Amino acid sequence: MEAHLEKRFQDKIDQEIKIEPKDWMPEKYRKTLVRQISQHAHSEIVGMLPEGNWITRAPSLKRKLGLLAKVQDEAGHGLYLYAAAETLGVERADLVADLHSGKAKYSSIFNYPTMTWADIGAIGWLVDGAAIMNQVPLCRCSYGPYARAMVRVCKEESFHQRQGFEIMMTLCNGTTEQKEMAQDALNRWWWPSLMMFGPNDDESPNSKQSMAWKIKRFSNDDLRQKFVDVTVEQAKHLGINIPDPDLNWNEETQHYDFGEIDWEEFWNVVKGNGPCNKARLDARNKAHDEGAWVREAAVAYAEKKRKRKEKVA
């Protein structure tokens, strides 16, 4: 029976028929999706912290409005994704509890600090840029609710990347110090951005199954290469240098060759030892704990309104 159901399931996937919440699915497919979608949701939420750090110090009203709108979008992305995860039979409160206890993971990129205003430019340009590379293929993911959430997310992301690039462009056309600031931000964010695509393909054992299930459409290394190819060209427009001595155009492959990623650093940050892991979790827990009374008050108020309505009726 199970084998028969599995075959029917895979046939649907192969025919590009979307899987919807109440459809039969292998338990491993469900679990893989819950893990991936919730990690993705956590990343959107934690991702608000490094940028939120600069909202009050944005250099102009225009920049403040843009950054505020971007951070608000990220909160929405978190919500779409938690809602998509919930269609798989988990509860948001449990997912959030796993984030706050440190059990669940989120994208390691958000464990790096935002030290100057240029970091806000670099994040929009590189981090949102890498996120877009990852997310566009997810719009065609086999699981309907995830794919639909990603369509909304991707529509909103392009403004994020453009506002980041514009910040970088403005700095690069500014004073020497401003251009140096932009270069410094690129130096610090380049390698962590490349790490966002995850381990090399031969180190990524679950990728094959995810590709067969069409949760994933392209391999980590393919997406990373695509990102390098487009971003190097963009850096030329800014007139700043990618911090990689091994970066070279390869006529034969028609791609850029680039240097080895420091995987030790990557795993170290994943394990919790990045510069801001602790600060991020502390900030999340503090916000959640201090918001407890608001959640309780909302329930009490809803209850009061309901009772009042009953009395009138």
Footprint on this chain of other proteins (rule: CB under 8 A): 20, 22-24, 72-73, 76, 79-80, 83, 86, 91-93, 148-149, 152, 156, 295, 298-299, 301-302, 305-306
42 touching Fe ion, by CB under 5 A = no
**Nearest residue (CB) to Fe ion, 47 versus 198:** 47
Q: Cα dihedral angle (246, 250, 254, 258), rounded to 10 degrees?
A: -10
CB 227 within 8 Å of CB 194 = yes
**Residue 209, helix vs strand vs coil:** helix
Output the DSSP codes for 239-306. Answer: T---S-TT-EEETTTTEEE-PPP-HHHHHHIIIIISTTHHHHHHHHHHHHHHTHHHHHHHHHHHHHHH
- Report, in Å, the least distance between residue 23 CB and Fe ion: 27
Task: Find which of other proteins, Fe ion, none residue 128 binds, CB within 5 to 8 Å per kind.
Answer: Fe ion
Distance from C-alpha of 61 to C-alpha of 58, rounded to nearest angstrom: 7
CB 187, min distance to Fe ion, A:
22
User: Does 63 engage in binding with Fe ion (CB under 5 A)?
Assistant: no
Q: What six digits make up the tokens of 293?
A: 């009374």
> Which among other proteins, Fe ion, none contacts residue 5 (Cβ within 5 to 8 A by kind)?
none
Is residue 160 within the footprint of Fe ion (CB under 5 A)?
A: yes
Q: Residues for the chain: how many in total?
A: 313
Provide, rounded to whole angstroms, the least separation between the CB of residue 84 and Fe ion. Answer: 14
Spatial separation of the C-alpha atoms in residues 217 and 141, rounded to whole Å: 8
103 or 307: whose CB is closer to other proteins?
Answer: 307
Instruction: State the residue for tokens 């840029």.
Output: 129
Per partner kind, with CB cut-offs from 5 to 8 A, the member of Fe ion, other proteins, none near residue 249 is none
214 lies in the binding site for Fe ion (CB under 5 A): no
According to the binding rule CB under 5 A, does residue 40 interact with Fe ion? no
Q: How far apart are alpha carbons 78 and 71 in whole angstroms?
A: 11
Partner in contact with 160, chosen from Fe ion, other proteins, none, beta carbon below 5 to 8 Å by kind:
Fe ion
Applying CB under 5 A, does 119 fall inside the site for Fe ion? Answer: no
Answer for which of 51, 86, 119, 128 binds Fe ion (CB under 5 A) is 128
Total residues interacting with Fe ion, rule: CB under 5 A: 6
The answer to whether the beta carbons of residues 71 and 159 sit under 8 Å apart is no
Q: Which residues bind Fe ion (CB under 5 A)?
A: 44, 74, 77, 128, 157, 160
